[in-house]
Amino acid sequence: MAVERLVELLREKGIMGATVLKAIMGYGITGYRFEGIEVLSHSLPLLVEVLEEESKVMNLLESLKEHLKGCFITLKEVELCF
């Protein structure tokens, strides 16, 4: 699933917020990757952060399971201070 479509889907499902971050450098089992300012790389990872209540996130993950194969998913509880 393209990241643009994922963000659209999150919005359609009423998710409170989402942010997409792109790595400029990293390494993993596929090797070392670096994106210079002048080079656009499609092999660097993206991080999609979602802000929502736990129950809604769990339902969302279940409905997207087939589309997110091969992705790493981490969950973290946060405290909002506002």
Q: Is the distance from CB of 18 to CB of 50 less than 8 angstroms?
A: yes
75 is a domain residue: no
Residue 56's alpha-carbon distances to 12, 46, 80, in angstroms, are 13, 22, 17
| pLDDT at residue 52, as a whole number | 94
Domain count, the chain: 1
pLDDT single digits (tens) 27-49: 888 777 776 654 555 667 789 99
Query: What are the φ and ψ backbone dihedral angles of 40, each rounded to 5 degrees?
Result: -100, 120
Determine, yes or no, domain membership for 59.
yes
* Contact (Cβ atoms closer than 8 angstroms) between residue 48 and residue 18: yes
Q: Is residue 32 part of a domain?
A: yes
Task: Let me know if residue 23 belongs to a domain.
Answer: yes
Residue 74 falls within a domain, yes or no? Answer: no
Domain enclosing residue 61, as ranges: 3-68
* pTM tops 0.85, yes or no: no
The pLDDT profile of the chain, 82 residues, written as one tens digit per residue, is 788 999 999 999 999 999 999 887 778 887 777 766 545 556 677 899 999 999 999 999 998 888 888 888 999 988 889 8
